[in-house]
Amino acid sequence: MAFAVQMAKGIFDLVREDLALVEQEIAAQNGSAIEPVCEISSYLREGGGKRLRPALLLLAAGASGYRGESAIRLGAVVEMIHSATLIHDDVIDGANTRRGRPSANARWGNHMSVLAGDWLYMQSFEMALRERNFAILDILIDLTQNMVEGELLQLTRLGRINLNEVEATELAYGKTACLFSGCSRLGAVLGKQTKAVEEALAEYGRNAGLAFQLVDDLLDFTASPEKLGKPVLSDLKEGKVTLPLIFALEAAVPAAVEGDGNGAHSHSNEDGRRLVAKVLEERDFQSVRPEQITRLVKETGALERARKMAREYVSRAKESLSELPDTEYRRALLAVPDFILDREN
């Protein structure tokens, strides 16, 4: 944990002043909203968060040779889009907690929360319009469409036990990686970089985002509720089958899953599938205990397989930066994927 904190300090120190300006811009936008939206938006801001997405945009812009007002404004834009997605996600999932506090929908209800999320989307695009840059709007429209499509796809796949790796990666791109990719691409656009550099930074963001989502999926099985800020195994209770569980169901089960942990009898894949299917059917841990699921993913080697995949995404993200000049911003971008990977610790 100390390593992750130190790494984060090194990364964010470089853009700390600009991130403070991003916060001021978000606060100013929230202050212009009508009271219910202002109240919900302020509540979300007070809940904290790493501000990783605006930091990524600021670092990519710096690595591309740009620092200035546009990066501040677009940093606020991507954070507001992110906040809007969190509000809508919690409504869709029926989540009661977010970052260890009651979610917006738990406090203000679904109707008010959805409308507040809509306002954040519209306000972020109104801000982006001030740039008078079609390339920026194209990126924001594309990533927003991908995020909405990702949510729609997830809804169609809820409760499906036969989800595969390709489908899960597609969902991870829509949920998380497309916004990371858009943030780093926006930095390249602000720096007026070549298409090749723009694509390389977009690929960097995509792989960093996929690693981020995979670590999130791992934390759902390995973290405490206090660390996670929400109940563990909440994805499965909501009907979501993520990559660690997909890997577990693909693997042989060598040790006790159903037992009390004192025995070590062999288990077939069908036993694991039956346990998962029961939780998906009940949308709760009534007939199946959470420990049975966590034991399943541990004993099949699924957690280590998922960690290996996250490390591969991190390597690909770093490789994408090979064409950028060696600056402090590039070095910070190289450190971001390691910070993402270390979140599980």
Helix (H) or strand (E) holding 97: strand 97-98
pLDDT of res. 256: 44
Task: Write b or e for each residue in 218-257: b if 16 or more Cβ atoms lie within 10 A of its Cβ, otherwise e.
Answer: bbbbbbeeeebebebbbbbbbbbbbbbbbbbbebebebbb
Which runs of E-coded beta strand occur in 178-217? none
Residue ranges per structural domain of the chain = 2-251+301-342
Q: Is the sign of the CA dihedral 181, 182, 185, 191 positive or negative?
A: negative
pLDDT of res. 183: 98
Cα within 13 Å of Cα(264), Cβ side: 2
One-letter amino acid at 251 equals A
The two structure tokens encoding residue 81: 């889009």
**CATH topology for 2-251+301-342?**
Farnesyl Diphosphate Synthase (1.10.600)
One-letter amino acid at 301 equals G
**3-state DSSP call for residue 102?**
strand
Mapping DSSP onto H, E and C, the string for 135-164 reads: HHHHHHHHHHHHHHHHHHHHHHHCCCCCCC
Distance CA 318, CA 211 (A): 12
**3-state DSSP call for residue 268?**
coil
Spatial CA neighbour of 101 closest among 219, 225, 285, 236: 225
Q: Is the sign of the CA dihedral 75, 205, 325, 130 positive or negative?
A: negative
Distance in angstroms between the alpha carbons of the first and the last residue of the chain: 6
pLDDT tens over the chain, length 345 residues: 455 556 666 788 999 999 999 999 999 998 888 888 889 988 988 887 779 999 999 999 999 999 999 999 999 999 999 999 999 999 998 888 888 899 999 999 999 999 999 999 999 999 999 999 999 999 999 999 999 999 999 999 999 999 999 999 999 999 999 999 999 999 999 999 999 999 999 999 999 999 999 999 999 999 887 676 667 899 999 999 999 999 999 985 454 444 444 444 444 578 899 999 999 999 999 999 999 999 999 999 999 999 999 999 999 999 999 989 999 999 999 999 999 999 877
C-alpha 16: how far from its chain's center? 21
Q: For the chain, how many residues are written?
A: 345
